Amino acid sequence: MTGLRLLAGPDLASGAESDANHSRRLGAPKLSGRALIEALASSGLTGRGGGSFPVGTKWRAVAAASKGSPVVVVNGAEGEPQSHKDRVLMSTRPHLVLDGAFLAAHTLRAREVIVYIGEEHRAARAAMDRALAERTESERRIARMVGAPQRYVAGESRAAVHLIEAGVATPTTAPPRSHERGVAGAPTLVQNVETLAHVALIARYGDAWFRSAGRRGAAGTLLITVAGGVKRPGVLEVEAGTTIEEAVAMADGPSGPASAVLIGGYFGAWVAAAKAWELPLDAAALKTEGFNLGCGVVGVLPAGRCGVCDTARIMRYLAEESSAQCGPCFFGLRALSDACSRIAERGANRDEIARLKRWVVEVPGRGACRHPDGAVMFLRSALATFADEFAAHPAHWRQQPA
């Protein structure tokens, strides 16, 4: 399995590419500084951690912030349970990520680069550790590794900043956003590892080259994780704008008839399979349809598997992942999750469904971070996509493995 750009080069099964190999294959980055920021802005590259925020805009904001010298946080927390693309990238192309990180540090005159990787992503941490040891002395001097606790919210940018600052990965209120005021009050660029790897290639080949990949009007490539009912689940690099049907075909096709697809992970949305196949994997296009690309998870639900039970399981997970800082999130998600569990366990109940529909509009927008909003968006999509299944659910509560 190799990919188009980020995952091009030696076979991924052979592990992390060495610095020597990486430099020989790709040469040195050409762009940095102002020219790089302009190239990023016109490339159309967006953040690949889930927020899909335009990268050029973010870098401009950090460069324009005058307060203190900036900090770069390389975000490899990857807390989304179904996503694997960040750890695959770090384990196989660590120097691409580090190139992007140090280009950011150089361009923004950052005093520190903090590599923030999920604690249980052992292979990825080891590969990044070894790769860091191969970098130049001046780069190593400003870099350090910090482990991300294995919780869903730990990868959220302000939670990352709060862990680095205060040792606890809980989200804090925004504004101020991290790029305005982050680590030690300095403007802080928190950027996903895949995003930084794209930066490394744009610095070599330019923005026009980046846009030369992409279909149906989308720009560049992206890493996705195809999970669930496909013959070969795993991480793929696809052109932006590739439809879900095409992506599933690249994973050797569905393992059987599919009923729905979970697009974007646990903060994403369930979409009926017939509609999902046509959707393009592109942040902007999905947004116009009312969906989130998120971190690029495509979870295929086989026809035999119960979407209501899966929804109840995921809602329980998201309720338990509330950091208990805001009442509407902690109590709201718990109440929603309990109602889902009751339907899953005891069967359909019109009152419970009415209650769910009433509550889902009361929770969003009332937390310090967007955890409750994401969870509610997920639940609303389930109530719409599995409307018939919710209304006729038998009392079976299938404890299906994730």
Partner 1 sequence: MSDTLLWYTTRGAGAVSLILLSGVVVLGVLSALRVQSAGWPKFLTTGLHRNIALMAMVFLALHIVTAIVDPFTHLGWLTAVVPFSSYYRTLWLGLGTIAFELLVAIVATSLVRGLIGQGAWRAVHWLAYASWPVAVIHGFGTGTDALSGWFMVLSIVCVGSVAVAVVYRLGQGSADPLASARSDFRARVARRPDR
Contact footprint for partner 1 (CB under 8 A): 119, 144-147, 149, 151, 153-154, 159, 163, 167-170, 322-325, 327, 330-331
Residue partners of 332: CB distance under 8 A and separation at least 6: 359, 362, 363, 366, 372
- At position 219, the amino acid (one-letter code) is A
Least separation, in Å, of the C-beta of 330 and partner 1?
Answer: 6
Tell me whether residue 194 or residue 321 sits nearer to partner 1 (CB atom).
321
CB nearer to partner 1: pick between 32 and 325:
325
φ/ψ (deg, to 5) at 144: -150, 155
- Residue with Cβ nearer partner 1 (107 or 337): 337
d(CA 379, CA 286): 18
- C-beta closer to partner 1: residue 241 or 332: 332
Longest dimension (CA), the chain: 65
The minimum distance between CB 225 and partner 1, in angstroms, equals 23
Q: Name 149's Cβ contacts closer than 8 Å, sequence gap at least 6.
A: 119, 163, 169
Shortest separation between residue 169's beta carbon and partner 1, angstroms: 4
Residue 157 beta carbon to partner 1: minimum distance, rounded to whole angstroms: 15
- C-alpha 97: how far from chain center: 15
Judged by beta carbon, residue 145 or residue 348, the one nearer partner 1 is 145
CB nearer partner 1, residue 163 or residue 190: 163
Strand order in the sheet with 221-228: 234-239, 221-228, 297-302, 258-263, 269-272
Residue 311 CB, shortest distance to partner 1, in Å, is 23
* Shortest distance (Å) from residue 167 CB to partner 1: 4
Minimum CB distance to partner 1 smaller for 171 or for 294: 171
Nearer to partner 1, 217 or 327 (CB): 327
Look up residue 10 and give its two tokens. 């030696």
CA–CA separation, 251 and 230 (whole Å): 6
CA distance 30 to 203: 6
Nearer to partner 1, 90 or 279 (CB): 90
Helix (H) or strand (E) holding 302: strand 297-302
Q: How far is the CB of 155 from partner 1 (least distance, A)?
A: 11
**Least distance in angstroms from the C-beta of 151 to partner 1:** 5
- According to the 3-state scheme, what is the secondary structure of 256-300? CCEEEEEECHHHCEEEEHHHHCCCECCHHHHHHCCCCCCCCEEEE
What residues have CB less than 8 Å from 183, skipping those under 6 apart? Answer: 71, 73, 112, 114, 161, 164, 165
- Please state the closest distance from residue 164 (CB atom) to partner 1, in A: 8
Which tokens go with 265? Answer: 């992970």
CA distance 46 to 354: 38
